[in-house]
Amino acid sequence: MDQSGLFDLTGKTAAVIGGGSGIGEAVAIGAAKQGADVIVLDANEAAAQAVAARIGGSARAAALDIRDGEAVRTAIDDIARERGRLDIVICTPSINVRRPILRYAEEEFDKVVAVNLKGSFNVLQAAGRVMTAQRGGSIVIFSSIRSQVVEPGQSVYAMTKAGILQLVRGGASEFGPFGVRVNAVGPGVVETPLTAPIRANAEWYAAYANKSALGRWARADEMVGPTLFLVSDAASYVTGIILFADGGWTATDGRFTPPGM
């Protein structure tokens, strides 16, 4: 196997959902730099258009609400038809309502599940239909460290992120015979618009930074490498996994160093 171009995405069509800001924006730009033909999809069409303009070339953008299954199917089908095939789909959007279980409102529950879980399913289903038919492709859906560990107020968000992991495993098992790989990325705490309220609280920000082995938050562009690895030929035998990019958050158990160490 020629290993000189393992991370090269030249000639591949990539749809990056949530590409208008944060991690999705960084991934869209990163994929384009590796040669991919990128389509930026986001609920905020203006933001998606701005990112596509930054990328330039053949990049284009469109509005997409992943809660709308029909809209997701149409968007994915249109890309595959216009570009001849669809090699990569990356899905980053999620929302969170921090609330103790006993105070969680039904509408808040429905809102988080609709985006994080139903939306991810809609993307996996639509991309899976196209890719199994063409017998090849790679899908990456964003999960979280919260698929494994939780804190007060994060129960519903954590539930959806654990559900995404099982969804990815199910997709990998069903789509694998058609040459389609499905994986997840599990970020730790990342500096994005979604985490702005936490970063505005110095004590909260420091507590999260100190939980990781590296002692800091991640930048959005630090999620690019793990994501592009999973969609590249470098990961040609990798499917059904979650790749944690969490600075060692899930590897550490407290930050106290015993005396004499």
Cα dihedral 194/227/126/178 (nearest 10)? -160
- Which amino acid is residue 105, in one-letter code? A
Backbone angles phi, psi at 247, to 5 degrees: 65, 20
Helix (H) or strand (E) holding 128: helix 120-134
Among candidate residues 148, 171, 168, the one with its CA nearest the CA of residue 158? 148
Contact 235, 177 (CB under 8 A): no
The half-sphere exposure of 212 on its side-chain side, counting CA atoms within 13 A, is: 19
Marked catalytic residue, from 104, 157, 205, 237? 157
Cα dihedral 8/174/79/118 (nearest 10)? -110
List beta partners, residue 186: 244
For residues 173 and 180, give the distance between their C-alpha atoms in angstroms, rounded to a whole number.
10
- Annotate 231-244 with DSSP letters as a single string: HSGGGTT--S-EEE
For residues 32 and 92, give the distance between their C-alpha atoms in angstroms, rounded to a whole number.
17
Among candidate residues 124, 93, 120, 86, the one with its CA nearest the CA of residue 9? 86
For residue 208, indicate whether it is catalytic.
Answer: no
Tokens of 201: 């609280």
- Which amino acid is residue 189, in one-letter code? V
Q: Would you name the residues annotated as active-site residues?
A: 157
